[in-house]
């Protein structure tokens, strides 16, 4: 009599236990599916961003190939040589077709002068070969010949010193002979690093401009100037007009690409280079691996520092952005994106872990 009674009560207990377990499990998986909806949507953004990152890396490699192979046409090389400015210690070969006695090979003095028969001392520093040819032609036309034919050839270049710094493989100071260009300067430094920015700054020391002295300037001396070159325009689009000839004392600076920083409840927090590209909040979070399981995307904050450590805070609802309900926000260099934890999601994670343990215990009961 006792045994049947025991059997009658055993299975209802197990049935109630199973029901007790199944109800919260159903609720749990429903809530978890809702809570993890945004990270799943961010996977598409992550894939798109990874594709852009690969494209960016390929672009840097292509730029370096252009630099290291010195992929310049002969016309571009001749043009850059014609643009070279004569300087002290250069050796010039001057020929006058009408009178061989005027043919001369002469080295430019440390003061930038040369001495020519019948013409005396000429100031040649800072002139191109074309400008010097015209000057000699004009002087000969005034004194000796009508329409003389003059050619100037730089037989030996002085040693020039240029510096390449920043995001290049082998930064340093280089002593070079002859006319060099921006691309050749980058080649000397081993090409660009992957975190190189999109802009090149060519810093040039003070110059002497004869035209300014002719106009009544005190000394014709300019302060240092900085020329900005778009590397994508030069290396990708092939605009060789930006491949400027270098001068003694020039400094090429390739700044590292700016970064944005992502922290809080994301899978891979850290700093991420902009590489000259515009990056949005959702893209930056994708760079960080996406939202964490406990992330409160709607409470995302952007910290931006201005002059004098002035800090501005802006809110961004990443969940709404991923759903297309809100416009994505573009970040600026050194912006900090913080994703806080969600109290509800944190509870769900702990609930899931707890139920996993209960489920295992329930199965063992059913197998008894």
The dihedral region occupied by 92, where left means phi > 0, alpha psi between -120 and 50, and beta the remainder, is beta
State yes or no: pLDDT of 289 exceeds 50. Answer: yes
Q: Which domain holds residue 290?
A: 37-60+258-345
Structure-block tokens of residue 91 = 């050796």
CA-to-CA separations, 89 to 105, 180, 249, 350, 359, in angstroms, rounded: 12, 17, 15, 78, 88
- In a domain, residue 188? The reply is yes
Based on the fold, state whether residues 145 and 168 are members of the same structural domain: no
Tally of domains within the chain = 4
The token pair that represents 126 in the structure block: 């800072």
pLDDT at 37 over 70: no
Same domain, 183 and 306: no
Q: Are residues 103 and 227 in the same domain?
A: no
Q: What are phi and psi of 254, to 5 degrees?
A: -110, 100
Q: Are residues 138 and 6 in the same domain?
A: no
- Find tokens 């109630």 and name the residue: 16
Instruction: Render pLDDT for 91-104 as a digit per residue (tens, 0 to 9).
Output: 999 998 888 888 99
Among the residue ranges 73-87, 104-118, 227-241, the one predicted with the least confidence is 73-87
**Do residues 232 and 274 both lie within one domain?**
no
Question: Which residue in the block uniquely carries the two structure tokens 């325009």?
Answer: 233
Domain annotation covers residue 163? yes
Same domain membership, residue 168 and residue 250:
yes
Boundary of a domain, candidates 254, 281, 297: 254
The domain spanning residue 185 has which CATH number? Answer: 3.10.560.10
283 contact partners, CB below 8 Å, separation of at least 6: 45, 49, 328
Could you tell me if residue 244 is inside a domain? yes
If asked whether residues 199 and 74 sit together in one domain, one would say yes
In angstroms, rounded to a whole number, what is the distance separating the alpha carbons of residues 289 and 266?
7
* pLDDT attached to residue 155: 87
Regarding whether 217 and 75 lie in a shared domain, the answer is yes
**65 domain residue, yes or no:** no
- Chain segment 164-219, per-residue pLDDT in tens: 999 999 999 998 877 788 999 999 999 998 888 888 899 987 654 443 434 444 44
Q: Which of 128, 156, 184 is the last residue of a domain?
A: 156
What is the pLDDT, as a whole number, of residue 10?
Answer: 44
74 and 164 share one domain: yes
Q: Which residue has the higher pLDDT, 35 or 136?
A: 136
First to last CA, the chain: 22
Per-residue CA distances from 303 to 235, 320, 327 (Å): 35, 19, 18
Same domain? For 139 and 167 the reply is no
Same domain, 185 and 55: no
Domain of 128, CATH number, reads 3.30.1950.10
Let me know if residue 15 belongs to a domain: yes
Choosing from 156, 174, 201, the residue where a domain stops is: 156
Closest to 132 (Cα-Cα) out of 111, 152, 112:
152
b/e for 233-256, b at 16 or more Cβ within 10 A?
A: ebbeeeebebbbbbbbebbbbbee
CA distances from 50 to 57, 58, 292 (A): 10, 12, 18
Strand-pairing partners, residue 81, are none
236 in the same domain as 120: no
């Amino acid at each position: 009599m006792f045994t049947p009674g025991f059997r009658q009560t055993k299975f209802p207990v197990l049935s109630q236990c199973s029901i007790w377990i199944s109800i919260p499990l159903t609720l749990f998986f429903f809530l978890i599916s809702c809570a993890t909806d945004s990270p799943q949507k961010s996977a598409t953004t992550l894939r798109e961003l990874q594709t852009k990152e690969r494209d960016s890396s390929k672009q840097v490699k292509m730029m370096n190939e252009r630099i290291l192979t010195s992929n310049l046409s002969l016309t571009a090389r001749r043009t850059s040589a014609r643009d070279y400015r004569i300087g002290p210690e250069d050796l010039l070969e001057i020929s006058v077709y009408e009178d061989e006695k005027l043919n001369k090979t002469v080295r430019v003095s440390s003061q930038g002068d040369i001495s020519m028969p019948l013409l005396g001392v000429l100031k040649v520093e800072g002139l191109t070969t074309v400008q010097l040819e015209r000057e000699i032609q004009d002087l000969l036309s005034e004194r000796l010949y009508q329409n003389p034919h003059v050619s100037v050839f730089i037989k030996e270049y002085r040693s020039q010193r240029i510096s390449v710094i920043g995001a290049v493989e082998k930064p340093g100071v280089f002593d070079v002979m002859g006319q060099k260009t921006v691309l050749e300067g980058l080649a000397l430094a081993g090409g660009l690093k992957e975190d190189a920015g999109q802009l090149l700054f060519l810093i040039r020391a003070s110059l002497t401009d004869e035209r300014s002295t002719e106009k009544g300037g005190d000394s014709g001396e300019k302060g240092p100037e900085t020329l900005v070159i778009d590397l994508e325009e030069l290396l990708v689009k092939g605009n060789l007009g930006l491949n400027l000839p270098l001068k003694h004392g020039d400094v090429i600076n390739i700044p590292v690409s700016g970064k944005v920083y992502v922290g809080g409840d994301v899978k891979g927090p850290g700093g991420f280079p902009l590489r000259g590209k515009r990056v949005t909040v959702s893209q930056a979070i994708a760079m960080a691996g996406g939202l964490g399981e406990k992330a409160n995307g709607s409470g995302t904050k952007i910290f931006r520092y201005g002059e004098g450590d002035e800090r501005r805070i802006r809110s961004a609802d990443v969940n709404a952005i991923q759903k297309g309900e809100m416009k994505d926000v573009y970040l600026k260099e050194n912006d900090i994106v913080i994703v806080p934890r969600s109290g509800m999601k944190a509870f769900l994670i702990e609930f899931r872990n707890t139920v996993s343990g209960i489920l295992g215990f329930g199965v063992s009961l059913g197998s008894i």
